[in-house]
Amino acid sequence: MKKAYIWRGMIYMAGLLILALGITLNTKTGFGVSALVSVSYCVSVLWNLNFGNMTFILYAVFMLFEMAIHLAEHMSRAKAGPAAGGGCQRRSLAQELFLDLLQLPMSLILTRFINLFGALIPDFAAEGQGGFAGSMAGRLLMLLFAIVCTGVGSAMSLNMRLVPCPADGVVQVFADTKGIGVGLVKNGFDFLNLCIALALGLIVGHRVIGIGIGTVAAMLGVGRVIAVFNGFFMKRLCTVAGVESRA
């Protein structure tokens, strides 16, 4: 059992590392960033701030939204009375808020990885000119690799059922409390982030920042990568880590 917990932690951390690599590579191709970090990327470019730090602040905002949703849900159930619970067992408000708070150190780890890769990986569009890495074909290949890394990293970390990324957590909480499908909420949440990033770029910078073909490709491709990875590897990873497979 102890060995399984060690494997679980190792797979989870490896997933965060690969996820951070995918997010960073997406920004370095020059084709646009993933939707969930489009706001933090736009802010970092407009005010010359650190991308990883701005992503951490964005994730903290997502975490606060989760806490607000949980608080509102518990207050609503308290007003409705015991019958509103439907007889099913639920976590207490303190437990829900504590689990939400755990996403803060998780976000710190993920964004430190983003800063590390951001410092090590060059900007292919600007610094790779004259070589394959800066060519259209090279950047498209790197975009494909970024999408694969993002999907694999997301699948590995999520399957370990430890602490979710706040971007995933806020989508799941909203879907659960409102009775809406996770996929639909995810699409709406991505669209909302893109609209905010687009508005910020046009109003403050008078240009579109961080939104391009890479943004659309990531929105369409990451989910498919997660599905393929889970189809081939989820049961094996979950067995090694002592986690019940959802397949």
Cα–Cα distance list, 136 to 31, 32, 70, 110, 212 (Å): 10, 14, 46, 29, 14
Residue with tokens 């893109």: 194
How far apart CA 240 and CA 221 sit, in angstroms, is: 27
Query: Rounded distance, CA 71 to CA 100, Å?
Result: 11
> Is residue 198 helix, strand or coil?
helix
Name the residue among 205, 180, 208, 206 with its Cα closest to residue 194: 208
pTM above 0.85, yes or no: yes
Q: How far apart are the first and last CA of the chain?
A: 22
pLDDT at 26: 94
Per run of 10 residues, the mean pLDDT along the chain (length 247 residues) is 86 94 94 92 96 96 93 84 52 85 94 95 84 90 96 89 86 84 83 95 96 92 90 88 72
